[in-house]
Amino acid sequence: MSLRKPALDPRTVEAVVASGYPEPYRSRVLPRSKRRIGDALGLTRIGINYTLLPPGKESSMRHWHTHEDEFVFVVEGELVLRTENGEQRLTAGMCAGFPAGSEDGHHLINRSDRDAVYLEISNRDRADGAHYSDPEVDLAWSPPHAPGRFTRRDGTPF
């Protein structure tokens, strides 16, 4: 059965394997793939990716957003959610939410032996910036550089 818009089977959207991170962070997330299903559906006020994270990989470096609420919903497999207060195991049907401006950095890690799939959803706000929480991660994402470019914490380019 082939769906037509406004309906969509997420698995029919192109899977993009890409990251704006420099090394050594890039290798910690790739070959994570994202299917940009919000874009495919013509949505502009919310962004929605259908994301596949292979075993051993991280969704992102641990971070929080200044102007965007973020929500994740596990579709398949098993992920570890890591925040300031430690780790929790999320299986299919479980979710997590990160309010804009809440300074508790988060990311997901696939510590299982099979692919995990999740939805990641946020409102879109051009003023948004991201702060990275782990001391060893020297990354920043903030206007006016965003969207499009990561810098070091002090704003200098890689």
Cβ closest to its own copies, residue 29 vs residue 90: 90
Name the residue with tokens 């919903």: 73
Q: Does 53 bind its own copies (CB under 8 A)?
A: no
Which has the closest alpha carbon to 8: 69, 54, 50? 50
| Enclosing H/E stretch for 37 | helix 37-40
The contacts of residue 77 (CB under 8 Å, 6+ apart) are 91, 92, 110, 112, 114, 115, 116, 117
- Choosing from 73, 131, 142, 151, the residue that interacts with its own copies (CB under 8 A) is 73
Q: Does 135 bind its own copies (CB under 8 A)?
A: no
- Choosing from 55, 99, 143, 147, the residue that interacts with its own copies (CB under 8 A) is 99
- Choosing from 66, 123, 142, 151, the residue that interacts with its own copies (CB under 8 A) is 123
Token pair, residue 130, equals 């991201």
What is the torsion angle, in degrees rounded to the nearest 10, for the CA atoms of residue 61, residue 64, residue 68 and residue 71?
70
Q: With left for phi above 0 and alpha for psi between -120 and 50, is residue 10 left, alpha or beta?
A: alpha
- Choosing from 15, 30, 75, 146, the residue that interacts with its own copies (CB under 8 A) is 75
Cβ closest to its own copies, residue 5 vs residue 23: 5
> Shortest distance, CB of residue 76 to its own copies, whole angstroms?
9
> Shortest distance, CB of residue 68 to its own copies, whole angstroms?
7
Which positions lie near its own copies, rule CB under 8 A? Answer: 1, 3-11, 37-38, 41-46, 48, 68-69, 71, 73, 75, 81, 83, 85, 88-90, 93-100, 102, 104, 106, 119, 121-125
